[in-house]
Structure 1
Amino acid sequence: MLYLYLKSLHIIFVVCWFAGLFYIVRLFVYYAETADMNKTEQTILRNQYTIMTNRLWNIITWPAAILTTIFGVWMLIETPMWLSQPWMHIKLLFVVLLFAYHMKCHQFVKQINNRTLTKTSSFFRIWNEGATLILFSVVFLVILKSTVTWVFGVVGLVGLSILLMLGIKLYKNIRERNKN
């Protein structure tokens, strides 16, 4: 029964972590879009986005990442046989990638706090898809376990990446058309 409680808490905090990661990058987009505004608008909005970014990052995203990790490790301690499964090794690789993504987002948060963020909103729209790819990969891997082959997984990720990039390009074209 303990394992099921741990699994439930792990999933809840994974959802919170990803919600934080998805929304933080949306705030990066909004912050980057202020670059073209007049100084008054830019100052007001950047101050507001800085407050929102810090609250989201420090109150939701970081704690969710830490609690996800605690409950995930605890589940592995309770059920160490998972560590002998190949799908778990791949999942843990994606977890490492997720932490790398998280830490890069942390750098962007620091850049916002220091007013040194120089990336464009287009960059952040693409950057946001990194978390999406990791989420899809981990969910399918955990649910399907050994039925996922490397070929199917790689083809699926490439296909998803292409669809996401096409969607971003289409959205950018629609936004530019609506501006004119």
Structure 2
Amino acid sequence: MSILWVKAFHIAFMVAWFAGIFYLPRLFVYHAESTQNEVHQQLKIMERRLLFFVTPFALLTWLFGLWMMHYYGTSWILVSSWLHLKLVIVILLTGYHVYCFKLLADFKHDRNKRSGRFYRIFNEIPVFALFAIILLAVVKPVLY
């Protein structure tokens, strides 16, 4: 497979992953702010399905990203300081994704103690991550 196909799949899966992690915390906002049991039950189903639907996209984003790194080689990785920062952000974003499983479990077992405001702020984290990742990947600044 040519590197252009690998890049295209990496970007496509990244877009799908971000679509999910943009929407899931929004569901958490609605869940935290609702007082109706029927709404809670419906949101529990939606949250679970969404998180389990987008998790493979996260894994495939990683797979195709690592494939590209392998293609370009160790010497390229060592001199690409922008890539080092991008990887840190993607690792943090992966931690964010994993933390969503904990939040999902809290809602599932009716243990959520956080407000809708917390989830509104939590919902903004992937936006900043996406901007940083795109800027780093496109501009490729020399950071050190």
Same fold judged by TM-score > 0.5? yes
Off by >2 Å, runs of 4+ in structure 1? none
CA distance in 1, matches of 2:76, 2:113: 42
Unaligned runs of 5+ in 2: none
Q: 1:94 aligns with which of 83, 86, 89?
A: 89
> What pairs up with 1:142-161 in 2 under 5 angstroms?
142-146=137-141
Residue 67 of structure 1 aligns with which residue?
60
> What pairs up with 1:33-72 in 2 under 5 angstroms?
33-34=33-34, 37=35, 42-59=36-53, 61-72=54-65
CA distance in 1, matches of 2:76, 2:29: 39
Is residue 98 of structure 2 the alignment partner of residue 103 of structure 1? yes
Residue 11 of structure 1 aligns with which residue?
11
What's the CA shift string for 1:58-96, capped at 9, x where partnerless?
12x211101101111111111114412111111111111
CA contact (8 A) 1:82 1:88 kept: no
TM-score (norm 1): 0.75
What's the CA shift string for 1:88-147, capped at 9, x where partnerless?
111111111111111221211111121211211100111111111111111011111026
- Give the share of equivalent positions with the same residue, in percent: 38
CA distance in 1, matches of 2:114, 2:76: 40
**Matched residue count:** 142
Structure with the largest fraction of helix: 1
TM-score (norm 2): 0.93
CA distance in 1, matches of 2:77, 2:37: 50
CA contact (8 A) 1:30 1:121 kept: yes
SS of residue matched to 1:146: coil
CA distance in 1, matches of 2:64, 2:5: 9
